[in-house]
Amino acid sequence: MGLEATPSGERVHIGFFGVRNAGKSSVVNAVTGQDLAVVSNVAGTTTDPVSKAMELLPLGPVVVVDTPGIDDEGGLGELRVRKARQALRRCDVAVLVVDVARGLTDADRMLLNEFAVRKLPHVVALNKADLLADGQEVELAQNEVLVSAREGTGIFELKERLGALAASSGHRRLLVSDLLEEGDLVVLVCPIDASAPKGRLILPQQLVMRDVIDAHASALVCQPEELRGLLASLVRSPRIVITDSQAFGRVAAMVPEGVPLTSFSILMARYKGSLDALVRGAQALASLSDKSRVLISEGCTHHRQCEDIGTVKMPTWIRAYAGADPTFEFTSGGEFPDDPSAYDLVVHCGGCMLNEREMAHRMAACQAAGVPMVNYGVAIAQMHGILARSLEPFA
Ligand SMILES: Nc1nc2c(ncn2[C@@H]2O[C@H](COP(=O)(O)OP(=O)(O)OP(=O)(O)O)[C@@H](O)[C@H]2O)c(=O)[nH]1
Ligand SMILES: [Mg+2]
């Protein structure tokens, strides 16, 4: 696969972190073999995370991210620290760069702790080995490598370690936190109707909430009826509004144009890596005819909320949108045809109860049979004319 063929979202992101002047930018330059980042002896040289997509042998396509010092201080400094921490959330693999003579600082320990909390695979690069006195021994822990960005020693070993970590990490997708900064405000619109489960929220809503607070942003949750009042009461615009797909039409009318808006199901599809295919599948809705066969498939059997949407609302919406009366068939739970080629379109639920492998299997079956597949959320957005707006946040 060529360099251009791998979108940034699919590449392994490798972030370099550490205190000011540890040599992060120098190590980035040594690892990439390029003068990517500005280096100087002024503490706080790197003021913004710098990302660069590149082919890094033997790792393959990656994004390398240089970051500001994690110990920066003062008003501007705090802003930089925030940006560094934000970059951390996007990384699949981390390098902690430490000045070997100085050793680990409190800020470094905090970073290591954060790596552990996030289960982020990482390696510690003890830099400036060239400054060690001749014969000075350094005891290396298992996840430490001694390097000198200046002389290039240990850099090959560091790259090999990174290769191994990258291979084992896979790419970790995020629901929404990659769009957020610390302190952002997110509004979540969760209609509670007869089909909502009793006494709790559904999984995509829970997952998004968790991801929002992971990003140190805040979430405000309301039903569509309260949205107008809630938005009016805010002193600043929310970073994004996320709504249940079924309320998208109503919600879109209330959220000002400049405020990004999307749905839980679109976030879930993006998280699972299937958004592009589903958006293509949505194009097939308009061309359905009376002769078409549509399979409506649900992952869960035990939730009223899906049944109602799948068997009643979805066929009604599709008939109205296509201006035709196609034949609908239904499956639920573990049932799914091995060969869906008899259908002109498969409309699937969000798949929150199916594991990713099963969902991927179903998408692959459709792809092999040349049958377009769309999920409820993307289909609803398309049929309500709001798909384009709900994809804007990821443009
Ligand atoms: N002797 C020696 N000096 C190094 C090495 N790596 C970096 N330096 C020096 O350390 C200083 C800081 O290097 P940078 O790469 O700018 O450090 P940084 O961690 O990116 O610093 P900030 O961007 O300010 O957070 C510069 O003067 C570098 O030349 C090394 O391996 N050996
Ligand atoms: Mg730097």
What is the CB < 6 Å shell around ligand 1?
18, 20-26, 39-41, 43-46, 68-69, 127-128, 130-131, 148-150
From 17, 24, 25, 26, mutation site for ligand 1 pocket: most ligand atoms within 8 A of C-beta: 26
* Confidence at residue 352, expressed as pLDDT on a 0 to 100 scale: 63
21 CA distance to ligand 1 middle (Å): 5
Question: Whose alpha carbon is nearest atom 14 of ligand 1?
Answer: 23
The atom of ligand 1 lying closest to the CA of 149 is: 31
Ligand (nearest to CA of 24):
1
Find out if CATH 3.40.50.300 is the number for domain 8-169.
yes
Could you report the per-residue pLDDT of 33-51, keeping only the tens digit for each?
Answer: 888 788 888 888 888 888 8
- Residue numbers of the chain with a pLDDT score lower than 50: 1-5
Extract the tokens encoding 80.
């930089």
CA–centroid distance, residue 41 to ligand 1 (Å): 6
3-state secondary structure the chain: CCCCCCCHHHCEEEEEEECCCCCHHHHHHHHHCCCCCCCCCCCCCCCCCEEEEEEECCCEEEEEEECCCCCCCHHHHHHHHHHHHHHHHHCCEEEEEEECCCCCCHHHHHHHHHHHHCCCCEEEEEECHHHCCCCCCCCCCCCEEECECCCCECHHHHHHHHHHHHHHHCCCCCCCHHHCCCCCEEEEECCCCCCCCCCCCCHHHHHHHHHHHHCCCEEEEECHHHHHHHHHHCCCCCCEEEECHHHHHHHHHHCCCCCCEEEHHHHHHHHCCCHHHHHHHHHHHHHCCCCCEEEEEECCCCCHHHHHHHHHHHHHHHHHHHCCCCEEEEEECCCCCCCHHHCCEEEECCCCCCCHHHHHHHHHHHHHHCCCEEEHHHHHHHHCCCHHHHHHHHC
**All structural domains of the chain with their residue ranges:** 8-169, 177-269, 282-387
What spacing in Å lies between the alpha carbon of 80 and ligand 2's midpoint?
A: 11
In this structure, are residues 95 and 14 in contact, taking their beta carbons and an 8 Å threshold? yes
* 28, 29, 35, 39, best to mutate for ligand 1 pocket (most atoms within 8 Å of CB): 39
Output the pLDDT for position 2. Answer: 37
The pLDDT value given to residue 356 = 64
- pLDDT value of position 305: 54
Test site for ligand 1: of 16, 17, 21, most ligand atoms within 8 A of the Cβ: 21
Q: What is the pLDDT of residue 5?
A: 47
Q: What is the pLDDT of residue 12?
A: 83
d(CA 294, CA 292) in angstroms, rounded, equals 6
pLDDT tens, residue by residue, 160-172: 899 888 877 665 6
Which numeric CATH code is attached to 177-269?
A: 3.40.50.11420
Would the CATH topology of 8-169 be identical to that of 177-269?
Answer: yes
Is there a contact between 100 and 23 (Cβ–Cβ < 8 Å)?
A: no
pTM for the full predicted model: 0.59
The architecture in CATH of the region 282-387 reads 3-Layer(aba) Sandwich (3.40)
